[in-house]
A and B are shown apart, each in its own frame.
Chain A
Amino acid sequence: MSAMLRAENLYHQVSTGEGPLTLLNNISLQLARGESLAITGASGSGKSTLLGLLAGLDKPTGGRIWLAGEEITRMDEEQRAALRARCVGFVFQTFQLLPGLTALENVMLPSELRGEGGAAKRAGNFLDRVGLSHRLHHYPRQLSGGEQQRVAIARAFASFSGDDGILFADEPTGSLDAANGERVIELLFKLNAESNTTLVLVTHEQRLAERCGVQMRMVAGEIAAGETGSGSLPEVST
C-alpha cells in the first residue's frame, strides 16, 4: 500500500517571551490510504500542533512531511493551500461553520473555493448522507450542536476533489453530549469507510481511539513508546 501520510523526524519549536519552546520532538509516522490514526494525550502534549503540521496548516521547524505523495515541507503557503483544497478535510471540535451561511452554503464552500461547478448538488448529496436533507437552508444558529457537527462532517467530505482524501478531526465529539457524540462518530467512520479516506483523529476518548487502526499517545511533544494501542506504528522508511 502506498503511504497517504508520512512524517519523518518532525521537530517544532516556537518563540515565547521566555525563550524557545519545543512543542514537538522526533515524531515519525506513516499511514496508508484508508487507514485511521488516533492521536491521544493530555492537554498541551502537542496533539493539535501535530495535527496542524500533518495537514499542512503550518510548517515544522525541522523534519519532513509527505501528504498524498507530495512533500509539503518543501511547499510554500500557497502550494500547501492548493493541496489542502484538493485532498484535505477538517472536522473541528467547535464545528467552525460560517454563521452567515446556511448548512448547504457551508458545505458548498470547499467546492466554490476550488472553483468547481455543481457545488450545490454535491453539497446536497453530502448533507443527505449525514441525514440533514431537511435542514439545507438553516443557519448554524438554528441547528443543534450535533446537527452542526454533521454539517461540518459533510463539509469535510465535500473538501475532497478526488480519491486521495485525508480527513483530520480535532476532538470531533468534544463539544457534544454522549448520544450526539456517538452518532457523529458512527457517521464519521461510516463515511470514512465508504469513501476509503484516510483518517487522523485527535481525541481524549479512549473508546473512540480504540476504533482507529493505529493509536498514538503523546507526552510532552513526543510519541510515548509502547503505548500505540492495538495497532502497530508503521515503520518509517527513509
Chain B
Amino acid sequence: MLPLKLLFRDWRGGELALIASALVLAVACVTAISHVTDRLARAMQQQSLTFLAAERVLRSSQPVDPAWLQEARERGLQTAQVVQFASMVAAGDQFQFASVKAAGEGYPLLGELEVRDRENGPTHQVQRGPAPGEAWVEPRLLPLLQLHLGESLQLGDTSLKITGLLEREPDRGTSLFDMGARVLVHLQDLPAAGVIQPGSRVRYRYLFAGDDKVLQSYFTWLKPQLTEHQRVIDLRDGQPRVATALERAERFLFLAGSLAVLLAGIAVGLAARRYGLRHTAYVAVMKSLGASRGKVLTIYLGQLTALTLLATAVGLLAGSLIQSQAVALMADVFPVEPPPSRWNPLLVGLATGFACALGFAVAPLVRLARTDPMQTLRRDWSNPDRREWLGLVLGPTSMLILIWWLSGSLAITAALFSGLALLVSGAALVNRLLVRGHLASFGGAWRIALGSLQRRAAFNTLLIAAFGTGLLAMLALVFARTALIDEWRMQLPEKAPNHFLLNIAPHEVEYLRKMLADNRIVSTEIYPMVRGRLVAINGVPVKEIKEKDNALRRELNLSWTETLAPDNRILEGEWWDKVNEGVSVEVELAARLNLSLGDQLRFSVGGLTIEAPVASFRSLNWNSMRPNFYMLFAPGTLEDFPATYITSFYLPPEQKLLINDLVREFPSVSVIELDKIIQSIRDTIGQVSLAIESVLVLMLVAGVLVLLAGVRASISERLQEAAIIRTLGGRRRLLLQSLILEFGLLGAAAGMLAAIGAEATLAVLAQRVFELPLTFHPQLWLLGPLAGALLVGTAGTLACRRSVSQPPLRVLRELA
C-alpha cells in the first residue's frame, strides 16, 4: 500500500501531474485516432461494399443449385438474387435496347437505391426493388419510349407499370451487360416475360451478407463445388480501384496512428526522465532512512503501475469522448453513418498506455532506484548512474513492437524507424553544432539564449530529437497525404472519360467520329476489337500450361493501333515504329504467363489461327477510363477478321441527352454510362481524404502537446534562471527575446532534421508502401526549419511565459 499512499501524497504535491498528463494525452490521442480510423475505415468499407450491394457475390452464367442458397440461409446469412441481361423493351411502336435487372426479395443487401416517384420530384433512398408487376427505369428511357411515369412498358410477354425513376443503384457495374438504359423489375416477373431462353446471355448474381466468420466458413464450404463458370466476388474483385484506395487509406491511417504512438511515447519519456531527476533527492533521503533498492523499485514501479492504470482509464474515456465528437462532426459529410465503436480501440489504448509507461518510464525509475544515498551528504542531485542506454533500448523496442502490431506492416515500421534513427543521430550532431559558438562573441538576448542551449546540451539533443520526430510526423503526413491525393486525382482526372461506346460497326466509325466532333466531344482513339482466344505459347497448348491464368480461360479482346495510348508505356521490346509485326503484351499478364520477348503466341480467332511473336511488354493504367487491351497487334495483322469498335469519352452532365441521340443514330451501339460509377468513386475518395485530414488534425494536436510536455520538463530550471536574471536587473523584454531565440533555434534545428528524416521516410514509403515514383521535395527543406522555428518558438515561449511574467521573488521562494 505504501506505493499508493506515496502516489496520492506525491500527486498532491503536483510532481506526478506531468507524467500522468503525458500518459493521458498518449492514450487519449491513440484511442481517439484508433476509434476514428476504425470507424471511418469500417464506414468506408461499408460504403465500398455497397458497390456490390452485398458483402460477397456469387456470379454465375447458369442458375446455381438452390441447396446452396438454402445452406447459406440455414447458416444465418442474408441472401438475395439478381438476374441481369440485355433485352429490348417496348411501348407501342417504340423499341429500345435496355439493360434489364430482375431483383428478388432482399435486394440490395447493402447500400440503397435512389428513386424518384414523380418526374420532377425529389429522390428517395430505398432498400428494396420494385414490387412484382412494376418497373423502375432510368429517366432517359422515358423520352426514348415516349412514355411517362405511371404508364406501362412491355418486357417480352409481360407489361410492367413504371412506378419509379431510377437515379442510382449501388451495384451498377461496368460490364457489357450494363449497356443501355436500366430497367429494374421484380424477379417474379421474369417467367411471365419469357425473355430468357436457352442460350440467352444472362448473368446470375447471388448476393450474400452476414457475420464475417460465417461468410468465411460458408464460402470455404462452397468454393470447392464451384465450376469454372462460377466466381465469388468480394470488394477487391468487384471494385479494384476502390479496394486499392481503401487499402492505401488504411495504410495511411495506420501510419498516422503509429506516429501518434511514437509522439506519445516521447512525451512520456520526457516527463519520466524529468520525474526521475526530480526524485533523485527524495530517493537518496529514503535510502538514508533505510529504504533498500528493492524497496525503492517496488515503491516507484508500484506508483507507475497505479498511475498508468489511472491515466489509461482517463485517457480511454477522453479518447472515446473525443472520437464520438469527431465522428459526430463528420457525420454530415459521410453518406454512410459510421458504425458504432468497438472494443478494439480500447485495447489499443490500453496497450499504448502500458507500452509507453514500460518503454519510457521504467528506465528512469530503474536508474532512480540506483541513487547513491551519500548524495544527501554531498547535496549533489545529479543521477550518477549513467545507464541512459537502458531507456534508449527499452523505449524504441517497446514502440517498435507496438507500431508493428498497430500497423501490421513491417515496411511501415521499418520506414518509421529508419527516419527516426537518422533523426536521433542527426539531433546529436546538430546539437553539437548549435552549442559550439563562443558566447563572448554574442550579446544580450543571443548570449542568454545560446547560454541556455549550452547548459542543456545533453537534454537538448533529446528535445531536438523529440521536436524533430513531431515535425517529421507532420511533414511526412502532409507530404504523403498530398502525394496520395495527387496520385488519386491524377488517376481520375476531372474530365476522365465517363462513357464507353461498344459494338460500333466499321461503317459507323466515321459518322460517329463526326457526330462527336460536331458536339465538341473529345473521345479517345476509336479502337477495333476482335475476339480471340490465346491457345498456345511457343507451340505448347495452354491446356498444358501450369499457370492457369484467367486470361487463358476466356476470349480476349484483341486490338491494333499505330499510336501508343498516353497511359501505355513500352517497358521492353519495340513499338510498331521500329518493328512491323508481332504483338505487344500487357506486362503483368506477360509476367504471369512467364513470357519472353520473341515467344510465339498462337490465337484462335473466328475459327482461324494466327501466330505472332511477342514484340514488346507494355505497362498501362487500367484505371484511366480509356479502352485498354492485354494484346495489341501490329497494324495489318488482324484487319481481315470481323471487328467491332470501342471508344470512350467525357460527356458533361449538361450534354447528357446526347446519349439519346447516339442511341437513336446508332441503335446497335452499346453505351456504358460510367459517370454514375465515377461519382461513387469520387465520393469514396473524398471520404478517404476527409478521414486522412481528420487524423492529421489529431496528429497536429498530439504533436503540439508533446512539444509542450518537452518544454515543461525544464520549466522549473528556466523559472529559476529567469528569476535570477531579473533580480540582477535583466528586463522582461530581454528574457522574452532570449526565449524566442532559444526555442526558435531549437525548432529550426529540429525542423532541419525533420526535413531530412521526412525526405528519407517519404522515399521509403513511396518505394515500399505506396508504390509511387521517387520525388524530391524542395519545399520540405524550407518548410521544415520554418515550421519548426515557428511552432517550437511559439510553444516554448508560451510554455515559459511564466518565467517572464511572474515576480522573481515569488519564483525564487516557490523553488527554494
Is B288 at the interface (CB under 8 A from chain A)? yes
Q: How far is the CA of A58 from the CA of B288 in the complex (A)?
A: 10
Tell whether, in the assembled complex, residue B289 and residue A159 are in contact, meaning their CB atoms are under 8 Å apart. Answer: yes
Given A78-B293, A159-B290, residue A58 in contact with residue B374 (CB < 8 A): yes
Q: Give B266-316 interface residues, CB cut-off 8 Å to A.
A: 281-282, 284-295
Tell whether, in the assembled complex, residue B290 and residue A113 are in contact, meaning their CB atoms are under 8 Å apart. Answer: yes
Question: Could you say which residues of chain A place their CB within 8 Å of the CB of B286?
Answer: 109, 113
Instruction: State the Cβ distance, B530 to closest chain A Cβ, in Å.
Output: 86
Contact with B along A121-138 (1 / 0, CB 8 A): 000000000000000000
Q: Give A95-125 interface residues, CB cut-off 8 Å to B.
A: 96, 98-102, 105, 109-110, 112-115
Instruction: Tell which of A48, A105, A110, A113 touches B378, judged by Cβ atoms closer than 8 Å.
Output: A48
Q: How far is the CA of A8 from the CA of B379 in the complex (A)?
A: 27
Tell whether, in the assembled complex, residue A84 and residue B288 are in contact, meaning their CB atoms are under 8 Å apart. Answer: yes
Instruction: Tell which of B5, B9, B14, B285 touches A96, judged by Cβ atoms closer than 8 Å.
Output: B285
Is A236 at the interface (CB under 8 A from chain B)? no
* Segment at the interface with B among A26-34, A85-93, A187-195, A211-219: A85-93
Is A141 at the interface (CB under 8 A from chain B)? yes
Given A105-B9, A113-B295, residue A81 in contact with residue B376 (CB < 8 A): no
Q: How far is the CA of A16 from the CA of B5 in the complex (A)?
A: 41
CB-based nearest A residue for B11: A100
Q: How far is the CA of A100 from the CA of B278 in the complex (A)?
A: 12
Tell whether, in the assembled complex, residue A81 and residue B293 are in contact, meaning their CB atoms are under 8 Å apart. Answer: yes
* Segment at the interface with B among A49-57, A63-71, A177-185, A221-229: A49-57
Is A205 at the interface (CB under 8 A from chain B)? no
CB-based nearest A residue for B281: A96
Tell whether, in the assembled complex, residue B293 and residue A57 are in contact, meaning their CB atoms are under 8 Å apart. Answer: no
Is B151 at the interface (CB under 8 A from chain A)? no
Tell whether, in the assembled complex, residue A85 and residue B293 are in contact, meaning their CB atoms are under 8 Å apart. Answer: no
CB-based nearest A residue for B290: A85
Q: How far is the CA of A7 from the CA of B644 in the complex (A)?
A: 110
Tell whether, in the assembled complex, residue B377 and residue A81 are in contact, meaning their CB atoms are under 8 Å apart. Answer: no
Interface centre among B2, B290, B372 (most CB of A within 10 A): B290
Interface centre among A85, A94, A102, A159 (most CB of B within 10 A): A85
Tell whether, in the assembled complex, residue B292 and residue A141 are in contact, meaning their CB atoms are under 8 Å apart. Answer: no
Q: How far is the CA of A94 from the CA of B381 in the complex (A)?
A: 13
Instruction: State the Cβ distance, A229 to closest chain B Cβ, in Å.
Output: 23
Instruction: State the Cβ distance, A90 to closest chain B Cβ, in Å.
Output: 5
Is A42 at the interface (CB under 8 A from chain B)? no
Question: Could you say which residues of chain B place their CB within 8 Å of the CB of A159?
Answer: 289-290
Q: How far is the CA of A96 from the CA of B292 in the complex (A)?
A: 18
Is B15 at the interface (CB under 8 A from chain A)? yes
Is B636 at the interface (CB under 8 A from chain A)? no
CB-based nearest A residue for B5: A112
Tell whether, in the assembled complex, residue B377 and residue A57 are in contact, meaning their CB atoms are under 8 Å apart. Answer: yes
Tell whether, in the assembled complex, residue B292 and residue A81 are in contact, meaning their CB atoms are under 8 Å apart. Answer: yes
Interface residues on A, range: 35 or more
Is B751 at the interface (CB under 8 A from chain A)? no
Q: How far is the CA of A107 from the CA of B462 in the complex (A)?
A: 38
Tell whether, in the assembled complex, residue B377 and residue A99 are in contact, meaning their CB atoms are under 8 Å apart. Answer: no
Tell whether, in the assembled complex, residue A81 and residue B291 are in contact, meaning their CB atoms are under 8 Å apart. Answer: yes
Given A57-B373, A57-B374, A94-B379, residue A85 in contact with residue B12 (CB < 8 A): no
Tell whether, in the assembled complex, residue A58 and residue B285 are in contact, meaning their CB atoms are under 8 Å apart. Answer: no
Is B814 at the interface (CB under 8 A from chain A)? yes
Q: How far is the CA of A70 from the CA of B439 in the complex (A)?
A: 56
Instruction: Tell which of B10, B374, B377, B378 touches A100, judged by Cβ atoms closer than 8 Å.
Output: B10
Instruction: Tell which of B285, B290, B294 touches A86, judged by Cβ atoms closer than 8 Å.
Output: B290
Is A170 at the interface (CB under 8 A from chain B)? yes
Tell whether, in the assembled complex, residue A113 and residue B379 are in contact, meaning their CB atoms are under 8 Å apart. Answer: no
CB-based nearest A residue for B288: A90
Given A48-B377, A48-B378, residue A77 in contact with residue B293 (CB < 8 A): yes
Is B13 at the interface (CB under 8 A from chain A)? yes
Instruction: State the Cβ distance, B39 to closest chain A Cβ, in Å.
Output: 41
Instruction: State the Cβ distance, B99 to closest chain A Cβ, in Å.
Output: 77
Instruction: State the Cβ distance, A116 to closest chain B Cβ, in Å.
Output: 11
Instruction: Tell which of A52, A84, A94 touches B289, judged by Cβ atoms closer than 8 Å.
Output: A84
Q: How far is the CA of A54 from the CA of B376 in the complex (A)?
A: 14
Tell whether, in the assembled complex, residue A100 and residue B288 are in contact, meaning their CB atoms are under 8 Å apart. Answer: no
Given A100-B15, A101-B13, residue A82 in contact with residue B377 (CB < 8 A): no
Tell whether, in the assembled complex, residue A100 and residue B290 are in contact, meaning their CB atoms are under 8 Å apart. Answer: no
Instruction: State the Cβ distance, A133 to closest chain B Cβ, in Å.
Output: 20
Q: How far is the CA of A102 from the CA of B286 in the complex (A)?
A: 15
Tell whether, in the assembled complex, residue B291 and residue A85 are in contact, meaning their CB atoms are under 8 Å apart. Answer: yes
Given A57-B373, A96-B281, A113-B289, residue A81 in contact with residue B15 (CB < 8 A): no
Q: How far is the CA of A92 from the CA of B5 in the complex (A)?
A: 25
CB-based nearest A residue for B14: A100
Instruction: State the Cβ distance, B663 to closest chain A Cβ, in Å.
Output: 83
Given A57-B373, A98-B282, residue A90 in contact with residue B13 (CB < 8 A): no
Q: How far is the CA of A87 from the CA of B11 in the complex (A)?
A: 30
Instruction: State the Cβ distance, A157 to closest chain B Cβ, in Å.
Output: 12
Given A100-B12, A100-B15, A113-B286, residue A77 in contact with residue B377 (CB < 8 A): no
Q: How far is the CA of A219 from the CA of B442 in the complex (A)?
A: 45
Instruction: State the Cβ distance, B372 to closest chain A Cβ, in Å.
Output: 7
Tell whether, in the assembled complex, residue B2 and residue A52 are in contact, meaning their CB atoms are under 8 Å apart. Answer: no
Q: How far is the CA of A112 from the CA of B14 in the complex (A)?
A: 21
CB-based nearest A residue for B287: A81
Question: Could you say which residues of chain A place their CB within 8 Å of the CB of B13?
Answer: 99-101, 139
Given A57-B377, A94-B379, A96-B376, residue A77 in contact with residue B292 (CB < 8 A): yes
Given contacts A57-B287, A159-B290, 15 further A-B contacts (CB under 8 A): A48-B377, A51-B377, A57-B377, A58-B374, A77-B292, A83-B290, A85-B290, A88-B288, A90-B289, A92-B377, A98-B282, A105-B9, A110-B290, A112-B2, A170-B376
Closest 4 CB pairs of A and B: A85-B290, A100-B13, A81-B292, A84-B290
List the interface of chain A (C-beta within 8 A of B). 48-49, 51-52, 55, 57-58, 77-78, 81-86, 88, 90, 92-94, 96, 98-102, 105, 109-110, 112-115, 139, 141, 155, 159, 170
- What are 8 A-B pairs at a CB distance below 8 A? A58-B372, A82-B292, A84-B289, A90-B285, A96-B285, A101-B13, A114-B290, A155-B289
